[in-house]
Amino acid sequence: MSGSSDDDIFITQTKTCEIDDYNLETDTVLSDALNLEENYVKEAIQLPNFDLKYSDISDVETPNLPENAKTSLRFSKPLNDSDLKNLVKSGLSIKTENKTRWAVNLFSMWKKHRNNNNYEEKGLFNLSSQELNEALSFFIAEVRKESGDNYKPNTLYEIIISIQHYLRQNGRLIAFMDDQEYQGLRSVLNSKMKELSRLGLGINTKKSEVITIEQEEILWSKGLLGESNPQQLLDTLLFLFGLHFALRAAQEHRNLRFGMNTQLSVKYDLEGIKYLQYIEDVSKTNQGGLDHRKVSPKMTRAYENSNPLRCPVRLYEKYIALRPKNGTVDAFYLRPKKMPCSDVWYCDSPVGIHTIQSTVKRLCQSVGIIGNFSIHSLRATAATRLYQAGVDEQLITEKTGHRSNALRAYKRTSDAQQASVRVQVWVQFFKVGEIDTLKEQYTADVIVRAKWREPALDSETQIVGDLYDYHKYWNPKLSIENTIGDPKEVVRYRVVYNNKGDAYLSEKRIIKGTFMENLELNHFPFDVQDLTVTIASELPSYEVELIEDYDNRHIVNRLSFVDEQEWHLYAHTECEKKDLIIDQIDQSVKRSALSVKCRAARRPGYFVWNIFMVTFLICSLSFATFSVKKTRPENRLQLSFTLVLTAVAFKSVVNQSLPRISYLTYMDKYLLASMIMLSMVCCWHGIVTQLPDPEKADFIESIVLGCLTIIYLCYNVGFLILIYIFPYRKRRRMKQKDKIYKNELKGNRKAKY
């Protein structure tokens, strides 16, 4: 989400907060909802103290109007104080009010927890300045999240500002950050924020990433953007409007209207070129009130282009033509019809704001683009591309509507992107060897290919074969992060060229070694494990950025899998971008890394037949001990104890196959449940000998035997159901990913030929 101002320009504004404890995880969530501007914080909301009535106006003051004057049309019905208060509230941000209410409720809960009668009896609004300074100082020092974790520094500041906002709304003119009476509060807040900053809280802010030209091309080429169906056309318009008009988050998209009062119109410039014009009416920096009466609304254009398939003007006109002809909804974005007609593709109902919020994220995830992409990424992309094109900053502010230096956050990111070299990485799991569950590692032969742009090698004569003087050129200094010991490694370099003749330096790294892997064994022996290769650069991330190779998919060679008897290797792969810390002292400097993983599912047959089945039979045999006469309890107990010791022995065998972990696997849970069952049988055999009445003992034992049988059957059937619901659900998901992966490979082959 965005910050309290437009300073955090990349921060996404797509998350929604609730009004309870809000699950407030980041400073930016609260900042966005407060939306406090400097002028707004410094002014209190005051209402005139009168109730206007007809009798308040004398006959002398009443002008002489013609009898047929329609005064009822000129003036509304008389209002009271409550109406005026509601009118004032309607001009306030809903998020601001929700967050203010949340902050005040949080303070009230703290008072009850503190059990301070003085604070509790008076209430927040009635506390004196001295009491308020004292109460808020203790409150800021003690407040925590529901989980017990600390809030981030800026969150504490925003809580105080929210309480100030509440007091100002109710006519108490105070300024916690300026008034002398609250010097103690400021000192506590300042010290607490410094303490939390030293703990590393609030250092990293989650920002929406910029969509690169290459990533946008992927969206077009994969058919996520286009005009062939209602959903695709709708997504394309939202994407293009975000880029061309730099709209803020989902709300400005949702505020777009159609009809007489629309912000969009098709026009022609002096040279006769058609364009689509957007005129802003209400936005974050222009809300139409007293503070913004001299602010000119943002007005920007999207010109038609030479490629009709990506022309915003043509796509806009097509969308308008496919809306309902007699629609009553004025919202611009309408829901696609499930069964569209040839001339009407959309329902007469608007697209929800949450759907708009998730559109960019959904599009990127659909084609495997990894990163923090949101609806705000379009605005960030618009400003960044303008900066990269060398457009004057004043013209960019006219495009984006910024009224502060916040725009320069895009410039800093742009400069960093231009300074960093993008290295494309492609990984092939050539041969996956043994997977060692006990040591949490696996062996493999892996081929890592990387390439990066090298303008120094551009020439009319293309270089063929290996490049031996590669040390003359820049190198990203790649390494494999999760290898154990000294793996065998061979590195070769060559020059490759794209269709335009641009030279790329290509590195081929062949690694044969052992790789560390943190195995998740909750579902053992029905588990699915990730087998990861992590490639990282030794250079900081502002110099090198590792990305996936656009032209090649990561490959798993399943035919050479060594551990086929114990594991099933899946065909698909997944990739994840990471930032690794270079220095623990200065954690702001990081290295770019890329983790490519394939997956293997354990074949549980060995454990099912040799552990589960044997344990099931042992536990089942415990019911046979009931056939021994009750007059010989020593024989009953001897047999039962023998079965318990056998189960313990099997538990020891299982422990030899697993690393020392602090949690229970599925097999552990089943064996422990069986041992508890055997122990219950032993306890009953000890109890039944103490019953004096033989007939009554027989009756009670029959009931106990029936109950134990039901319990035994229920936990075995329940265990089978749990296995099907949880571990095997993940396996079914892996099969679906395999199917999608194979279909994409077939599609790529057809595209090449």
Mean pLDDT: which of 291-305, 506-520, 738-752 is highest?
Answer: 506-520
**What number is the average pLDDT over the span 272-292?**
65
pLDDT of residue 529: 95
Please name which of 7, 10, 2 lies closest in space to residue 378, comparing C-alpha atoms.
10
Q: Residue 92: pLDDT above 90?
A: no
Domain presence at residue 72:
no
Residue with tokens 């159901």: 721
Q: Check whether residue 414 and residue 432 sit in a common domain.
A: no
Q: Residue 732: pLDDT above 80?
A: yes
Domain presence at residue 65:
no
Query: What CA–CA distances, in Å, run from 174 to 161, 168, 171, 703?
Result: 11, 7, 9, 74
Q: Check whether residue 146 and residue 187 sit in a common domain.
A: yes
pLDDT of residue 56: 40
**Domain limit, last residue, from 391, 418, 445:** 418
Domain presence at residue 749:
no
pLDDT of residue 539: 87
Q: Check whether residue 92 and residue 188 sit in a common domain.
A: yes
Q: Check whether residue 523 and residue 471 sit in a common domain.
A: yes
Query: What CA–CA distances, in Å, run from 524 to 316, 364, 409, 727?
Result: 54, 34, 48, 9
Identify the bridge partners of residue 435 per DSSP, sorted by sequence position.
442
**Domain limit, last residue, from 418, 442, 459:** 418
Helix (H, G, I), strand (E, B) or coil at 572: strand
Q: Are 711 and 677 in contact (CB under 8 A)?
A: yes
Please name which of 740, 747, 428 lies closest in space to residue 598, comparing C-alpha atoms.
428
Q: Check whether residue 269 and residue 342 sit in a common domain.
A: yes
Q: Which residues contact 265 (CB under 8 A, 6 or more apart)?
A: 276, 277, 279
pLDDT of residue 75: 65
- Residue 745 φ then ψ, to 5°: -65, -40
Q: Check whether residue 440 and residue 568 sit in a common domain.
A: yes
Q: Are 574 and 533 in contact (CB under 8 A)?
A: no
Band (403; pLDDT cuts 50, 70, 90) = very low
Cβ count near 114 (within 10 Å): 14
* 435-479 pLDDT, tens digit each: 998 889 999 999 999 999 888 887 767 777 788 888 888 899 999
Q: Residue 525: pLDDT above 60?
A: yes
Q: Check whether residue 352 and residue 407 sit in a common domain.
A: yes
For the chain, how many structural domains are there in total?
4
- For the chain, give the mean pLDDT: 79
Query: What CA–CA distances, in Å, run from 518 to 48, 147, 177, 567, 661?
Result: 67, 26, 48, 17, 11
How far is 152 from 196, CA to CA, in rounded Å?
7
* Beta-sheet pairing, 478-480 with 299-303: unpaired
Domain that holds residue 650: 606-728
Q: Residue 492: pLDDT above 50?
A: yes
Domain presence at residue 464:
yes
The identity of residue 417, as a single letter, is Q
Please give the share of the chain, as a percent, with pLDDT higher than 90: 27
Domain presence at residue 376:
yes
- Residue 94 φ then ψ, to 5°: -60, -40
**Domain limit, last residue, from 372, 394, 418:** 418
Domain presence at residue 71:
no
Q: Check whether residue 166 and residue 219 sit in a common domain.
A: no
Q: What is the DSSP string of 245-289?
A: H---HHHHHHT-B-STT-SEEEEE-TT--EEEEEE--SBTTB-SS
Q: What is the CA radius of gyration of the chain?
A: 35
pLDDT of residue 10: 31
The identity of residue 102, as a single letter, is W
Band (430; pLDDT cuts 50, 70, 90) = very high
Q: Which residues contact 22 (CB under 8 A, 6 or more apart)?
A: 29, 30, 99, 102
Q: Which residue pairs from 53-57 have beta carbons closer than 8 angstroms and sit at least 24 positions apart in sequence?
A: 53/78, 54/78
The identity of residue 253, as a single letter, is H
713: domain CATH number is: 1.20.58.390
Q: Check whether residue 322 and residue 431 sit in a common domain.
A: no
Q: Check whether residue 159 and residue 244 sit in a common domain.
A: no
Sign for the pseudo-dihedral over CA of 264, 268, 274, 275: negative
Q: Which residues contact 155 (CB under 8 A, 6 or more apart)?
A: 24, 26, 27, 30, 202
Q: Check whether residue 414 and residue 510 sit in a common domain.
A: no
Q: Are 176 and 182 in contact (CB under 8 A)?
A: yes
Q: Are 202 and 27 in contact (CB under 8 A)?
A: yes
Domain presence at residue 746:
no
Q: Which residues contact 121 (CB under 8 A, 6 or more apart)?
A: none
How far is 326 from 343, CA to CA, in rounded Å?
13
Q: Check whether residue 520 and residue 667 sit in a common domain.
A: no
Residue with tokens 């495009």: 399
Residue with tokens 């035994």: 712
Decide which of 394 and 369 is more confident.
369
Domain presence at residue 207:
no
328: domain CATH number is: 1.10.443.10
pLDDT of residue 294: 46
* 645-677 pLDDT, tens digit each: 888 887 787 777 667 778 888 988 998 899 899
Q: Are 299 and 214 in contact (CB under 8 A)?
A: no
Band (220; pLDDT cuts 50, 70, 90) = very high
Please name which of 264, 256, 235, 280 lies closest in space to residue 378, comparing C-alpha atoms.
235
Q: What is the DSSP string of 694-731?
A: HHHHHHHHHHHHHHHHHHHHHHHHHHHHHHHHTHHHHH
